[in-house]
Chain A
Amino acid sequence: MSNAIVVCTWGEERGGLPGGAEEVLSLAGSLARSVGSDLVWLTLGAQAAGVAETAGRYGVAALHQIDDAKLADIPADVAVEALAQYCEQQSPRIVLFNQMAATRTIAPRLAARLDSAVVMGVTEVAADGDTFDITASAYGGDTRVVYRVAGAGTPVAAVWATAITAECPEAGASLAVESVAVDLSSVSERVDIVEPAKAEGPKLEDAEIIVSGGRGLGAVENYKLIRDLAEALDGMAGASRPLVDEGWVDSNHQVGLTGKITKPNLYVAVGISGASQHMAGCGAANAIAAINKDSEAAIFQYARFGIVGDALELLPELIRAARS
């Protein structure tokens, strides 16, 4: 399978697939077709239920798995070692990840091992012969940069999956899983988790409806209106970064480039200006409804529905209307 376009994923999200898998497979599939390479899907650790069937739908040529007791929870030192050995054995043409928190540790370290190019925040990959042109987000999304990667080696790219729409192809035959052997006996994790994060209740990443408040709320006590509207709509409450920086809400509410990357059906943004760094975490919503007192606010460029008005007057009315 040398020279293959390899998509690497792990874990499982809603829908029984690793996060971003379909989006990365869509991007990787069209890349593979354009250069006449095979598309290979590599999963680390226990494989999610929907992988074999999804591989068939996306025209994957081979489904690889590296599983090892040490890979449970994907510790970075172990994952990097496994991937470095895999790349040595298989010589992929490029390795593509979904950009999640863990990828930010694993992808660049893999590139250091392989002494190869690495690009994060990728929205597009084009290839011509030995050359890749990789487009990535910069300035929080204000610009895109096209990077050229030339020469031999295995470039590593972390795809910003929410910036991509998956193709959703028709059903195909499920693939058989091929186990790939690597030797992880000599690697041990150096970062010791002494207090694991306690995932309390549902996650913003999985929410179908999110109501987020921004600096336009004016004061910490007004954030309660955001919680109340979220509850009335059967959704979850989020926030822009200034509210987290001010200590109004806990950091697990932060939506954006350096916060939660969400993809709800409906995102209600109240008193949020629409800076690119915030939109990086909600721009993939099916629809955005925005409330802002400034009719020129950038958020209205992204919104399907908008009200120009005072959040503090509108929120109680929205809560009432939502409950009726």
Chain B
Amino acid sequence: MRIVICVKEVLDPDAVNNYAIAGRLEIGDDGMSLTQTAIPRLMNGFDEQALEAALRIKDTGVDCSLTVVSIGEDPSKILKHCAALGADSVVAIKTDAGALDGHGVATLLLAQIEAGGGADLILCGRQASDDDQGVVPALIAERLGMPLVTFARAVEASGSSLKVTRVVPDGDEVVEVVCPAVVTVSNELGEPRYPTAAAKIKARKVKPQVTSPADLGVADGDLAPRIQMIRQFVPTVQGNCEFIDGGSPAEQADKLIARLREESLLS
């Protein structure tokens, strides 16, 4: 079974949150990018879980190859991490075609998947924690004519079919689908594993295969974005909290419940 895992490098969302919470998140003079240069770049959390889902399939003894693909400025660090965890090959796609939108990313990913001999299962994160769009997996699925299963918390492979437990609004739903298919993974899959020290040392020597749109036969025109960021801003929150202070916890509790009843927020 050929499994391709698509991983994106993003700014650490916790660090972005901390700046936002401290009221110090700022947009630069270009009106688009965050000014905080100290924010580390990491593998998108849901993509770590997508790789974990692939590793768990491998753990069950299914004969499979794991290829990790990433498009970004310099994903070699995260790709080495993937290699240390057990990816059989890691591929970086470098482009200077300017900002890509979801269609552009999907175009390159599927060109790489085709160049690599295709895939029986394409695993993605449910969304990237920077743009929160969650469109790339759907665009890949539709363009390859594959079914899409979103929000997986468990993925089991048996023969040429998959059994996926999905997190849906009503609880967990179990679905079956015939490969090839695209599956997006959610945080409910659980904590991804860490590489062993020995694997990490070994992975230091791994050189990701680097490829480009030209290598993949993709012309710049095919990457023309359908949406273009023109501005980014930090929304403001208008705080007006009425603090219930003074007194013991019992008095504060009584006061809060009384205020909520006065405001008809409680009956």
- Residues on A lying within 8 angstroms of B by beta carbon are 76-77, 80, 100-101, 104-105, 107-109, 111-113, 115-121, 133-134, 136-150, 153, 155, 190-200, 203, 205, 209, 233-234, 241, 244-245, 251-252, 257-258, 260, 265-266, 273-277, 286-287, 289-290, 298, 300-310, 313-314, 317-318, 320-322
Contact = CB atoms under 8 A, between A and B. Distances in A.
Contact of A251 (B27, B129, B139, B188): B188
B24 to A, nearest CB: 11
B175 A191 contact: yes
Question: What's the dominant secondary structure at chain B's contact region?
Answer: mixed
B167 A251 contact: yes
A239 to B, nearest CB: 13
B176 A192 contact: yes
Contact of A101 (B131, B151, B252): B151
B134 A266 contact: no
A194 B233 contact: no
B63 interface: no
B205 to A, nearest CB: 33
B168 A197 contact: yes
B242 A304 contact: yes
Contacts of B147: 77, 190-191
Contacts of B148: 76, 105, 109, 191
Nearest to B238: A301
B200 interface: no
B237 A301 contact: yes
Given A209-B266, A308-B243, A80 B170 contact: no
A314 B257 CA distance: 12
A77 B175 CA distance: 14
Contacts of A116: 226
Interface in B208-244: 226-235, 237, 239-244
Q: Which 4 A-B pairs have the closest CB atoms?
A: A112-B142, A317-B253, A108-B138, A195-B174
